[in-house]
Structure 1
């Protein structure tokens, strides 16, 4: 039985993502929507793995650039290797704070908080729009006077413009010092037929979930005022593929998302 504070009456993005990745920390309502979506678009689980692979590559790249602090918002249910494991493999002293609003993720925080003796880990349970709370609690582990790698992967497409998606990014990046980096992956309709994108959006909406798949111009707005690093805005699978291993099934699939990494000057 689920704990009382977990709403199992409707799917949750973190649990859907867990189901796509073959995890067990989801509920029948998540599996039901997942099966309907993958029946319509069988490539979705591969897309989820491609997104995760990008997260690993971007984290590895940041650590190689000297970033030693990471704030990961929209963490999702732990699946090894987690972000801190990737970062601490390169930099054992890396400090990482995770944030998610799903109590299921909180219940697995112990798995997220098992890192190296040299590093430090923390967890914040909050909605991404609670930026003041996130920043205040993250500051217990991270030093905001030093550069931070801010990861917002597979998160912002669940926040519409009306829900304040751009304001969230602006408030978070305003708290970062120069030398910090912003990492985003985001679903887009640009690589799929309009009818297919509309069908997926409607299936999410019918289950009480927002899905705003932004085009390239709207995605690029998240990086305003920051300096995009090479190779710029691309599909996930095109961003520094040499830093990771190919995903099984990737050769016949498209990630369906834009990604980008930018530096605050």
Structure 2
């Protein structure tokens, strides 16, 4: 059974590094959570390493810029691993062909198509209409408020052509302030349910954890999985990913599951237990909000 804690400091001395989710954990898509920022700053001041592990489709440079806008200071983390970086690497290796149909908000997601110079001989990617595509690159819905079913006709066509869908963000939903929005993961889930093939690179899937470990190693440290704590509010992403990787986890119950766990400041123990039983999940620890 998960252990309910009131602060990161209660358990942080057991871990040399944190894999920390962003949205719903460190910020709400509009502004930073001051207590979360303070907790990470204190952890780093005591010698810990913070790797931000996010399902954002943005490259890490884009996420770093966004964090400044949200008020997350640079001294709250050491490095960033994004689903976007992991998925971009696959795209430029030709995972879904060279002529791709793009789904998302171009003004927001254009950075996904910036050249990836770390690869040797990357393929050249061209955005084309669906009828000319060899595959689909999905960074998100065209309209995050629209039901994913609006894409059913296009997905039926794509499935019949045998197109693979590269999902740059496996999150199903996210809360931007007080508004819940659909993410790319909801579209990929629909496509998979319809019989199409979706490729996933963010949490809870292994590629992003491999990237996070490489980013950690690039800092010149040798830290085993038993010394890493995964933190986040996504029971199907952050916690499932941590459990799948054999990494201890801290569930933020006041994020996406605030209503189900009856979390105000702290979760209701009975509601939390019922929720975790229903989701068949067992995070090592649970806290209302990162603090």
TM-score of Structure 1 vs Structure 2, range by shorter chain: 0.3 to 0.5
Q: Which protein has the bigger strand share?
A: 2
The TM-score normalised by the length of structure 2 is 0.37
Question: Please, what TM-score do these two structures have when normalized by structure 1?
Answer: 0.39
Return the index of the structure with the highest Cα Rg. 2
